[in-house]
Every structure is written in structure tokens, then in C-alpha cells.
Amino acid sequence: MTSNPKYIFVTGGVTSSLGKGIIAASLAKLLQAQGYRTTIQKLDPYINIDPGTLNPYEHGECYVTDDGAETDLDLGHYERFLNVPTSQANNVTTGRIYQSVIDKERRGEFLGKTVQVIPHITDEIKNRIQILGNSGDYDIVITEIGGTVGDIESLPYVEAVRQLEWDLGEGNTCVIHLTLVPYLSAAGELKTKPTQHSVKTLMESGVQADILVCRTEHELSHGIKNKLARFCNVKEEAVIQSIDASTIYDVPNLMLDEGLDKVVLKKLKLKSNSPDLSQWNTFVKRHKNPKSEVTIGLIGKYVELQDSYKSILEAFIHAGAENEVKVNVESIHSEFLSPNDVEEKLGHLNGVLVAPGFGERGIEGKIDAVRYVREKNIPFLGICLGMQMAVIEYSRNVLGLTDANSTEMNENTSHPVIDLMESQKDVINKGGTMRLGSWDCKLESDSLAYESYGHTEIKERHRHRYEFNNDYKSQIEDAGLKATGLNPDTGLVEIVEISTHNWFVGVQYHPEYKSTVANPHPLFVSFVSAALDYKTKQ
């Protein structure tokens, strides 16, 4: 425990996509492993209120917290690394900052003053940064500032950092600047100039970086580190190399080897202990030394994008390590899948996951995929839209309701087996209005879900507007697709299963959001194990 919360700011220079989120999460892990209660927050300089309204082409996956915030996917990394839930307070956008300032203005709270970026917007940013620190729950708050220094939209955030450093005083804050040290193969050299320039840009706003974390494809020599230190005004021990790693789960140990935690703690005037990473290292060892492998198809419509199904891919890594199996995920585009090529594209798989999604594009391919795996007894996990597709497929091909559909795809279907939730019928606005966040679910004891979780009461996170239409429940259950998990208050069907199948589970919620290194998700663990069994039996 520290007497007052300490703040670490992570800024980015030179280019985007350097992996600030992973560096922040890795540092947080090292601090947590030394007994410091640590959390991470992401400030995003765009004007959307949250990323819930952004499509995956723009923004990758939208991550959902227990309290129903639709957030940046970096929060997923924070939870996976720290095993501590995040909340609405952990992700703040410029849109939200402006919205609260404008709401205050309308309430007359500024008492006739002119409302300006400085001090009103910067004050709001400072408040948002300190909410977590002032909660008393954390010793250290790491605030990751999205974007790259020098961007017009980042300026108020950098100014807020400058002011907070001034307000809180020496020893209470630390600025880490993540930069790129590119290698020019023609010259055969690593170049420090882009870093010098981005540190200078930060200084123009009055912020001096205390630590440089340098992304690089090659080892930084002593000479390069010394040069960076001298030109960027940091101690040489504060020039940290972040070399490309084969897995993000190596980064905490790489940062430990470079002494990132030590320089940070010294700057914050905190004691440095030796971190206990034993559980983490057991996971990394298992992840890197699988005893066998399975191939699982991921059927979605954003499969060409690395970040769209981030949490699903990470959940497979956790579940793979737990089973000591390497999970090869084969991305299959649902839009180009048809009954003619389903055998060719899915026949070799040991398991199939049908992904979440919205809208009509690619859904017939998903339905064809479900039919194939159901008939071939291939382990199947359907998530959210994937579960809804399983219900539609069963209704069409087993119950013979050939026109069965979701009203999301066809409002006039004669068999709306998936229908808009009652609570959604009057909803007009798109942002933040889905059924979001953690809801209770009660499991049937005679089910795969119960076998996986080991208890009957669970809580899982949601993000949807449509649901299983209970008017069809008895019909569908009598035909063999059982509802094995229900919301105890509303009766909303959360899980469907076919008990005669090898492993066939559809869930209305998103298990992937809750899978962490310390707690691999039980459904993913069980699914991967089923895929391995299936492969062994083949």
C-alpha cells in the first residue's frame, strides 16, 4: 500500500500500433507482482463517446466490461494480464470528456464563465485520470494516452499530464514515452532521430519523458542507448529496449530483464521488490511447450482483420495452455462459405467457432457451417450471433421451419426464432443501448455448460439486442436443442446445447471477455479439450 496513489502516463511517439497497451499491461503486471495494487486506464482522443458505434474495420474488437462499458480492446489486455476487472472509468474518450463539460455548462455550473479547452476540458481530463486513484482501490494508476504525440487531438491530454505532474509534485508521477527505433537495412543501422524528434515534440508541450521504451527489431547496443539518453535527456538506465517478441505474454519478462519496473519505482519513490511471476511463468511455459495441437475454424466476416476477434484468439491461447495444446486458429470468411464448399473448408477441422456479429452479411455461410458441424459431430461453440445462427439452423433443418430467421435479418420471417428483446423495442439511439455487461445465468446441472463451469450460478458479459424467442422454446427443445442456461429473472435463453452431439454449445453471452491468464475461461478450456478428443478419435 502506498500513502497516496501514484500516476504513470504512457505516451506514444513516431507511429501508432507500437503496442502501448501491451507495454502498459506488462508494466502493470510487474508492479502487481510486487504487491502494488495497480490499474490501467486508456484515454482515447477521438470524438465518439465510446467505441461501441465503431465498426471493426475502424477499431478492432469492442471490449465489454462487467459494468457494461463498450471499450477499447486494450482493456481486454489489461484484464487478461492483471486478472482484475476494469470498468467504465478505465476508458475515456474525448467525446465523453466534451459531453460532460457541455452537460455541466447547460446546468449552469460554470457560473457565467467562458468554457474553454484550458482549463475546463483539461480539468475534466484530470478528474477522469484521478477517479481511479481517488477510489482508494489502487496504489498505482497507469494512464495510457491513445494516439501519437504531435496529433492535434492529443494536445489537451498532454497538457493535462503536464498540469498533473505540476499539481502532484516530484515522486508522484512518471512519464513513459513509447517510441520506435527503426532499422534501415540499406544503411545497416538503427536510427535514433525519430525518437529524438518525438521526445522534442512532447517537450514542446512542457512534458519531459522520464523513461523511453524503444520498440525495435534488433538489439539496442550500449552506444545507441547512450545516444538516446543524451539527446533525449533521460538516464541511460531509463532507455528500455522493447524488442519484437514471439508472444505478447513474453513482454512482462522482457521488461523485467530491462529493469523497467525498477526505474519506474525509483522515479515514484517506491520500494522495488522482486516480482512473483511464478503463476505467469507456468502459463508461458505451457503455452510454449504444447504436447499436441488442434485446428479450430473461426467463422466470421472480419477474419482478415487481426484485431476484430482479439479476445477470442487470446481465450484460445489461455485454454490451449491449460490443455497443453497448441490451438491453430484457421480464419474462415463466412461470406464466401456455401453448402458446396463447406466440406472442403471445414472437413479437416477439430472444432468450429462461429463468431459474434451484426447484420445480414455472411450469415447464410455461418448457418451452413453450423449445419455441417452439427451433422458431422464436430465440436462447436457459437458465440452471440453464432449461438443465434445455431438456433436458426436447427429450426430450419431439424424442425423443418424453412423460413426460420432472426428479425435482425428478416423482419417478415414467418418463424422469428430469434427476435428483438422486448426491452429493445423502444430503443432509438444506437450508442450504449444494447443489453450490455454482466448478467446472471443459471445452468441446468445436466449440461456441458455445468460440466465446464462446475457450478450452476454464473455471470457473463453481454452485447446484443436480439434473443432466443421463447415462443419456440418447447418446440426446439423437444427436437433436441436444449436451453441449458437461463437468466433467472427473465427466462432469457443464454445457452443452447445438443446433448447427443460430441460438444455443441451456443452462448448468447461473450465468454471470451472473461478469459485471463490466471483464469482461462472454462467453456474455452472444455471446447479445446473436446477438439482434442475429437482429433484423437478420428
62 is catalytic: no
* Nearest distance from C-beta of residue 45 to ligand GLN, angstroms: 26
* Nearest distance from C-beta of residue 510 to ligand GLN, angstroms: 7
* 439 is a contact residue toward ligand GLN (CB under 6 A): no
Residues 6+ positions from 211 with CB-CB distance below 8 Å: 174, 175, 176, 177, 234, 238, 239, 240, 260, 263, 264, 267
For residue 467, the Cα-to-chain-centroid distance in whole angstroms is 24
232 is catalytic: no
Kind and range of the H or E run holding 505: strand 504-507
* Nearest distance from C-beta of residue 468 to ligand GLN, angstroms: 10
* Nearest distance from C-beta of residue 411 to ligand GLN, angstroms: 14
512 is catalytic: yes
Kind and range of the H or E run holding 473: helix 473-478
In eight-state DSSP terms, residue 389 is: H
Amino acid at 34: Q
What is the C-alpha separation between 492 and 398, in angstroms, rounded? Answer: 22
Question: Of 344 and 426, which has the nearer Cβ to ligand GLN?
Answer: 426
* 358 is a contact residue toward ligand GLN (CB under 6 A): yes
- CA dihedral sign of residues 208, 210, 215, 219: positive
In 259-361, which residue ranges form alpha helices assigned H by DSSP? 260-267, 278-288, 310-323, 342-346
Cβ atoms of residues 509 and 462 within 8 Å: yes
* 356 is a contact residue toward ligand GLN (CB under 6 A): yes
Contacting ligand GLN (CB under 6 A), which of 5, 56, 147, 357? 357
Q: Which of 177, 462, 510, 521 is catalytic?
A: 510
Question: Of 62 and 175, which has the nearer Cβ to ligand GLN?
Answer: 62
- Residues 171-230 contacting ligand GLN, CB under 6 A: none
* Nearest distance from C-beta of residue 100 to ligand GLN, angstroms: 28
* 407 is a contact residue toward ligand GLN (CB under 6 A): no
One DSSP character per residue, 183-227 reads: EETTTTEE--HHHHHHHHHHHHTT---SEEEEEESSPPPHHHHHH
Amino acid at 81: F
* 353 is a contact residue toward ligand GLN (CB under 6 A): no
Retrieve residue 371's grid coordinates.
449445419
What is the C-alpha separation between 451 and 453, in angstroms, rounded? Answer: 6
Q: Hunting for cell 467525446 — which residue is that? A: 95
Stretch that binds ligand GLN, among 271-279, 354-362, 451-459, 514-522 (CB under 6 A): 354-362
Q: Identify which of 73, 5, 16, 67 has the alpha carbon closest to the alpha carbon of residue 39.
A: 5
* 366 is a contact residue toward ligand GLN (CB under 6 A): no
* Nearest distance from C-beta of residue 87 to ligand GLN, angstroms: 20
Count of residues touching ligand GLN (by CB under 6 A): 10
Q: Hunting for cell 499539481 — which residue is that? A: 167
* 384 is a contact residue toward ligand GLN (CB under 6 A): yes
What is the C-alpha separation between 391 and 327, in angstroms, rounded? Answer: 27
* Nearest distance from C-beta of residue 476 to ligand GLN, angstroms: 17
* 59 is a contact residue toward ligand GLN (CB under 6 A): no
* 12 is a contact residue toward ligand GLN (CB under 6 A): no
x/- letters, 445..474, toward ligand GLN (CB under 6 A): ------------------xxxx--------
Four-CA torsion 373, 376, 380, 384, nearest 10 degrees: 30
Q: Which of 62, 174, 232, 384 is catalytic?
A: 384
Contacting ligand GLN (CB under 6 A), which of 124, 210, 258, 408? 408
* 310 is a contact residue toward ligand GLN (CB under 6 A): no
* 309 is a contact residue toward ligand GLN (CB under 6 A): no
Q: Which residues are catalytic?
A: 384, 510, 512
Interface residues toward ligand GLN, by CB under 6 A:
356-358, 384-385, 408, 463-466
